Structure 1
Amino acid sequence: MEQPAKVLFGADQAIFRTNLAIYTPLLRDSKKRKGWSCAHTLVKDLPGTGKTAMFNYVSDSLSAKLGRVDGRPDTLPFDLTGKEERDKFTGIRTILRGPLFSNIFFADEIDRTPPKSQAPMLGAMEGAHVILNVSHEKDGFLMPTMFPLYPISDDPDEKRMFFIVFATMNGIEFEGTYPLSEAQMDRFTYSFGMGAPSREQEMMIRFENVVNKEVKVVMNLGQVLDIQEMVKRIKLSPQADELIMRHIENSWPPSRDMYRFKESRKRHTNPDMVKFIEEYVITGCSRRRNYHMQMAALTHRLMRLFLEDDKEIKSLDRVVAEVDDVKAVAPLTMEHVIRLHPKAMNENISSGDVVQRIVAETVLP
């Protein structure tokens, strides 16, 4: 976290959250079984708050292959995936790989990319793969071929993969933008804003404080994956496990129980909160959010141990994530997937307000 902070002032919290995402392992769909991937992250804030700079500098502090696409209305799917091209003189076919073939894929102003061109990201985010139409060696027919994302080194024997999507959105502009689908939003584990620096921190934003400052590579992806393995050794406490389920249940209006749960569920909160959710929320957290919230809480617990230089790091099998860890990651993992009724906007109620009430008013186990 120290490297990006050399040139970004007042963004410590956002940098911490981005590092939290990098260290978060996440289950993904794989052939015949679940595999492991990374926690994709969306930052939505006003222009000029340092969203792009933060992702650039955090990425620069890692030894990783980077891919980037700037959101434009003329972006086509193969601008992300790449394509196969045939030399008209020699007949040799070559696969030109797009920026999705990377360890860290950065989609800047993602909502300026048309839905057709955002579609390739769905498979990449959920299954850590890209599908290209490639000519069959024998008969020359085009065949859909799956390419995994993405080896952490150029060693052909390297089996470990690392692929994460960083994306930014402008929080106030709607002209020339395309709303992200619910399916795509649900694939982001984390979403947050940059926050606001203090007056003293903002006064540090002067050229003499950043000129000649260089962000250095301090970690490779092998080390990142080792940290993710440490996260997997931590367990949820029974109370934290139950609280995740209560947060998810409380995010849904009771009138939608049969649609979401196929049964009526008890709400562990007060009647006013239930009425509030019923009035302003259309849909809450999906089943997939269980994975996201669990792994986010476990990673948050490990990050706390790192920051406190706790000796428990040496005995992770006995470490458990507590209720406070679930509460800390709830806003980061829930806000962007809750769909609000149009009347909520008219009354200036945001999904952040909804999650704040869920966290504050859910009865603890």
Structure 2
Amino acid sequence: MKDADQVTTFDVGRLAHAVLDQVGTVVVGKRDALELVLAGILAGGHVLLEDLPGLGKTLTARSFAQALGLDFRRLQFTPDLLPADVTGSFLYDQRTADFTFRAGPVFTNLLLADEINRTPPKTQAALLEAMQEKQVSVEGVTYRLDPPFHVIATANPIEYEGTYPLPEAQLDRFLLRVSFGYPTADEEWDVLRRRMNRRQEEAELKPVVDANLLRAMQAALENVVVEDSIGRYIVALTAATREHASVLVGASPRGSLGLLLLARAKAAFANRDYVIPEDVKAVAVPVLAHRITLRPEMWLRRVDPSFVVNEVLDSTPAPASGALPSYAARPAGALSP
């Protein structure tokens, strides 16, 4: 395992692929979606997994926690869950005749917020404060969360009765939204075959990195350079979502920042220390689609926000891929665009 202070941009790609290979031994056939989840973690953000039940959302979160060597906790969100059940609370200690703080499940490295849309807004807000501020406030006392801290939340896009869908302002806190979709017949058979080979329900993955090395990988992404034309392309894409005829409210500047952060992670995965337009295009839908509010009549026509993002990608001119930053080093083995 490499020393944390020696991690380079190109080490990030190598280690990331090792993590994905490890997770891929359990989560079958979803390499592109898994790469997006890992990119979100490396970019320092939080991920929303929105898909139908039984498609591996919980398994994905647990597998990444094991492969990344992170402390992991799972919190099942229910209608009777209170904010204190997330953040923790003060309890009276008879031995000291004083109140002591009992930390909640949010004090971890990777928190799985399972079915986040099934708990009331007050409890959702308690988690979202921790996501944005990396801290929790209990009885007027603020407690910092130790880095790294990431939330992988799940939501089912069916059975809306009795749920509390996240409003757009809170959805904006998630760096990206990812869906897996149903596996192919061969992939589904592979799931069954691997289960029989394991001879047990749970799969245990060996850690590829640890918390300190993950933080070093996140820091190394800051060395991935972005040429001015790429940065302006990112801004143009986000601005175009605000001007689209089907959109009521477009993506905020937080969307532009999300594109920048995820594009740098994608570049590192491709063994590059510079971003090209294809990196931005690859992450545009998962970063921008959940930040868009469509006009009411568009819902009646069943227009999907991802369709709007794809239209924006088609209509926004991209800079030439050859316009690379002259100061970006190209070591031996680096891929050319």
Q: TM (normalized to structure 1)?
A: 0.78
Shift of 1:360: 1.8
**Equivalent residue in structure 2 for 1:286, among 218, 240, 252:** 252
Matched residue count: 296
Shift of 1:89: 6.3
Q: Take 2:65 and 2:236, find their aligned partners in 1: how far apart are those partners?
A: 35
Percent identity over the alignment? 31
Unaligned stretches of 5+ in structure 1?
Answer: 25-37, 134-143, 151-160, 254-276, 306-311, 313-318
RMSD: 1.6
Q: Which has the higher contact order (CA 8 A, sep 6+)?
A: 2
What residue number does 1:218 align with?
208
Q: Take 1:320 and 1:211, find their aligned partners in 2: how far apart are those partners?
A: 45
**Equivalent residue in structure 1 for 2:142, among 141, 146, 153:** 146
Q: Take 2:314 and 2:198, find their aligned partners in 1: how far apart are those partners?
A: 40
Q: Deviations over 1:219-267 (max 9, x none)?
A: 10111111112110111122211111111110013xxxxxxxxxxxxxx
What residue number does 2:282 align with?
328
Q: Take 2:163 and 2:189, find their aligned partners in 1: how far apart are those partners?
A: 33
- The secondary structure found in structure 2 opposite 1:147 is strand
Shift of 1:88: 4.6
Q: Take 1:9 and 1:59, find their aligned partners in 2: how far apart are those partners?
A: 17
Could you tell me which amino acid in structure 2 is paired with residue 40 of structure 1?
H
Q: Deviations over 1:6-64 (max 9, x none)?
A: 2222222222111111211xxxxxxxxxxxxx210001011111111111111122222
What residue number does 2:167 align with?
181
Q: Take 1:283 and 1:173, find their aligned partners in 2: how far apart are those partners?
A: 26
Unaligned stretches of 5+ in structure 2?
Answer: 1-19, 320-337
Q: Take 1:242 and 1:77, find their aligned partners in 2: how far apart are those partners?
A: 41
Q: Take 2:276 and 2:136, find their aligned partners in 1: how far apart are those partners?
A: 37
Residue 256 of structure 2 corresponds to residue 235 of structure 1: no
Instruction: Considering fraction of residues, name the structure with more strand.
Output: 1
Q: Take 1:104 and 1:299, find their aligned partners in 2: how far apart are those partners?
A: 19
Larger radius of gyration: 1
What residue number does 1:28 align with?
none
What residue number does 1:347 align with?
301
User: Aligned pair in 2 of structure 1 residues 233, 121: CA closer, same or farther (>3 Å)?
Assistant: same
Q: TM (normalized to structure 2)?
A: 0.84
Could you tell me which amino acid in structure 1 is paired with residue 29 of structure 2?
G
Q: Take 1:244 and 1:113, find their aligned partners in 2: how far apart are those partners?
A: 35
What residue number does 1:46 align with?
52
- The secondary structure found in structure 1 opposite 2:242 is coil
What residue number does 1:105 align with?
111
- The secondary structure found in structure 2 opposite 1:240 is helix
Shift of 1:196: 3.5
- Checking the alignment, whether the CA contact within 8 Å between 2:65 and 2:71 is kept in structure 1 is no
What residue number does 2:151 align with?
165
- Checking the alignment, whether the CA contact within 8 Å between 1:239 and 1:323 is kept in structure 2 is no
Provide runs of 4+ in structure 1 moved above 6 Å: none
